[in-house]
């Protein structure tokens, strides 16, 4: 079986055939670092990450390049507004970008090249395009002549003649074709600039990606990704520049991510209808946001709602509860002879994910498995220890490995919450356990809860029903539910 997915270039679903056996050369358009990125950008970054992770799970070695656009009109504008130089802005938001990526639990790229560190490579491509008559100089600017590239429009499927007649006459009326785009922009007062054969200036946005993709991955790459908004003109222009300069196909496959919308409008900085990733991560665990995104296919639009995000958080808790339960049975050595056929689920998972990285279906397979486990456990059909170990291992490979849902980190966040709730009711609990709550932290909180369970058990034995009830109720109030089992044990779940 092999992975197949929708290729924007051929407009059909195709089987993936790598250039080199078991290696994927993948390039993703990264952020323009002029502000904190919003959760629309995050959707593209998260879905690119899950595709990378899935290739790795299927045994590929992925070379994952995500550029950082650190010279751009928007950066210059922000720098002028704040009265600082544009590298101050670019550095600040590059750092913030990397921090947020880490908080999201997105794997670091193999390399995050910066446009400003690749100026010489950019200049070389432009020189080549000029010498072969594909680019031309106008004053201190250099333009790409789209008429010289017969396949212009092949990615977006745009009707170029229509675009030309619809194009507004641009600033530079001397352009040969209104759709010709800048490869190099002559320096203006107060802008960052580099020396070049055409005088001081800076690169256009499109050429940056061509140069960095080819430098780090070679003339022909396997997969190029980005949000839907980049198909035209950005990716169309990348193809024109790269293929005209190298004479080879640029990228064999193109993957585009659907927009994150809000009130059915694209979330974007310019519309002002956005949440930054930072502000969302202050209120929700990264896992909830990722889980929320995985519930929709990467290519479809997704309308963001906080209710949807809340529901995703509950979904994560359901998975977590089952995992806790399995780990509890393991730690208590609770052995049965029931066995779940994990391979059946894994095969199904691979089947749905191989078909265009269908994460919503992938999650459904996991939930079927969770249902199966819960049915077993609640009907008293305990699993074999080896089976439990294999299940834990399977969940780890899928949830942590493919989906990047770091469930142990989530548990710590939950534990921190539980501790603070215990502290709010310090007196009550200190009276019951006759110990200081201060002695507990997120690492050993389960000890305190198990101790309370013991005290309750003793209370029941000596018929102190009020105390037993009080323990159950107080715990319930802080979100910890006790569940008594047929075998006389009690387990707890946190919400
Ligand atoms: P930018 O920093 O604007 O260049 O965008 C970085 C990445 O985020 C690009 O791949 C964009 O296509 C993508 N992107 C921007 N807005 C959205 C959105 N609302 N939904 C999904 N992806 C987006
Ligand atoms: Zn790009």
Per-residue pLDDT at 472: 95
Encoded tokens for 170:
């641009």
Ligand 1 pocket test target in 68, 204, 227, 233 with most atoms within 8 Å of CB? 227
Ligand number with the minimum distance to the CA of 269:
1
Among 245, 273, 218, which Cα is nearest to 20's? 218
Ligand 1 pocket test target in 26, 44, 226 with most atoms within 8 Å of CB? 44
- Indicate if the pLDDT at residue 387 is higher than 70: yes
For ligand 1, whether the C-beta of 40 sits within 6 Å is yes
- Indicate if the pLDDT at residue 169 is higher than 60: no
| C-alpha dist (Å) from residue 487 to 292, 374, 375, 490 | 37, 17, 17, 9
Confidence tier at 485 by pLDDT (50, 70, 90): confident
Encoded tokens for 75:
């950066």
pLDDT in tens, 308-351: 999 999 999 889 888 888 887 777 777 888 999 999 999 999 99
Ligand 1 pocket test target in 28, 30, 31, 40 with most atoms within 8 Å of CB? 40
For ligand 1, whether the C-beta of 260 sits within 6 Å is yes
Return the higher-pLDDT residue of 294 and 425: 294
Cβ burial 165-190 (10 Å sphere, 16+ → b, else e): eeeeeeeeeebebbbbbbbbbbbeee
- Indicate if the pLDDT at residue 442 is higher than 80: no
Confidence tier at 170 by pLDDT (50, 70, 90): low
Q: How many CB atoms lie within 10 A of CB 143?
A: 22
Which residue has the CA at smallest separation from atom 18 of ligand 1? 40
For ligand 1, whether the C-beta of 230 sits within 6 Å is yes
Residues ≥6 apart with Cβ < 8 Å to 300: 258
Cis link prior to 233 (omega < 30° from 0)?
A: yes
Rg (the chain; Cα; Å): 28
How far away, in angstroms, is 198 Cα from ligand 2 center? 24
Which atom of ligand 1 lies at the shortest distance from residue 43's CA?
21
For ligand 1, whether the C-beta of 267 sits within 6 Å is yes
Chain mean position to CA 229: 18
- Indicate if the pLDDT at residue 395 is higher than 70: yes
- Cα–Cα distance between 26 and 422 in angstroms, integer? 47
Which atom of ligand 1 lies at the shortest distance from residue 44's CA?
22
- Across 271-280, 399-408, 430-439, the highest mean pLDDT is recorded for 271-280
Instruction: Give the mean pLDDT of the chain.
Output: 93
- Indicate if the pLDDT at residue 363 is higher than 60: yes
Worst-scoring range by mean pLDDT, 28-32, 318-322, 360-364, 395-399?
Answer: 318-322
Task: Please tell me whether residue 299 adopts helix, strand or coil conformation.
Answer: coil
Q: Contact, 52 vs 62, CB < 8 A?
A: yes
For ligand 1, whether the C-beta of 33 sits within 6 Å is no
Encoded tokens for 292:
């929320």
Alpha helices in 62-115 (DSSP H): 73-82, 86-103
The angle at the Cα of 272, spanning 270 to 273, to the nearest 5 degrees, equals 120
Among 313, 293, 307, which Cα is nearest to 359's? 293
Ligand number with the minimum distance to the CA of 301:
1
Among 298, 417, 426, 420, which Cα is nearest to 355's? 298
């Amino acid at each position: 079986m092999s992975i197949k997915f929708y290729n924007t270039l051929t407009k059909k679903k195709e089987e993936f055939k790598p250039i080199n056996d078991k290696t994927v050369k993948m390039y993703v358009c990264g952020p323009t670092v002029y502000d904190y990125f919003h959760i629309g950008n995050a959707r593209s970054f998260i879905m690119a990450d899950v595709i990378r992770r899935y290739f790795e799970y299927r045994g590929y070695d992925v070379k994952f390049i995500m550029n950082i656009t650190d010279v751009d009109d928007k950066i210059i504008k922000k720098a002028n507004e704040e009265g600082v130089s544009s590298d101050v802005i670019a550095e600040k938001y590059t750092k913030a970008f990397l921090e947020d990526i880490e908080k999201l639990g997105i794997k670091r790229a193999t390399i995050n090249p910066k446009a400003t560190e690749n100026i010489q490579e950019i200049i070389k491509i432009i020189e080549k395009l000029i010498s072969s008559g594909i680019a031309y100089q106008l004053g201190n600017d250099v333009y790409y002549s789209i008429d010289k590239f017969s396949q212009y429009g092949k990615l977006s499927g745009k009707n170029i003649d229509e675009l030309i007649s619809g194009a507004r006459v641009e600033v530079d009326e001397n352009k040969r074709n209104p759709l010709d785009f800048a490869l190099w922009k002559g320096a203006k007062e107060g802008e960052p600039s580099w020396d070049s054969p055409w005088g001081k200036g800076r690169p256009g946005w499109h050429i940056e990606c061509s140069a960095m993709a080819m430098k780090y991955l070679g003339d022909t790459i396997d997969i190029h990704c980005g949000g839907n908004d980049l198909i035209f003109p950005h990716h169309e222009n990348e193809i024109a520049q790269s293929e005209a300069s190298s004479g080879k196909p640029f990228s064999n496959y193109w993957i585009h991510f659907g927009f994150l919308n809000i009130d059915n409008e694209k979330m974007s900085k310019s519309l002002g209808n956005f949440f930054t990733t930072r502000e969302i991560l202050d209120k929700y665990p990264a896992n909830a946001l990722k889980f929320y995104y995985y519930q929709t296919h990467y290519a479809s639009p997704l309308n963001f709602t906080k209710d949807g995000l809340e529901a995703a958080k509950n979904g994560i808790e359901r998975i977590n509860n089952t995992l806790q339960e399995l780990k509890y049975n393991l730690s208590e050595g609770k052995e049965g002879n029931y066995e779940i056929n994990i391979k059946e689920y894994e095969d199904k998972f691979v089947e749905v994910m191989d078909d265009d990285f269908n994460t919503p279906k992938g999650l459904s397979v996991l939930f079927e498995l969770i249902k199966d486990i819960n049915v077993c456990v609640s009907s008293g059909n305990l699993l074999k220890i080896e089976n439990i170990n294999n299940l834990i291992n399977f969940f780890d490979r899928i949830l942590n490995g493919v989906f990047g849902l770091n469930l142990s980190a989530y548990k710590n966040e939950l534990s921190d919450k539980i501790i603070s709730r215990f502290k709010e009711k310090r007196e009550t609990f200190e009276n019951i356990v006759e110990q200081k709550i201060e002695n507990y932290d997120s690492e050993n909180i389960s000890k305190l809860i198990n101790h309370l369970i013991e005290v309750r058990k003793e209370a029941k034995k000596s018929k102190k029903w009020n105390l037993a009830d009080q323990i159950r109720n107080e715990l319930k109030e802080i979100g910890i539910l006790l569940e008594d089992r047929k075998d006389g044990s009690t387990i707890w779940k946190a919400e």
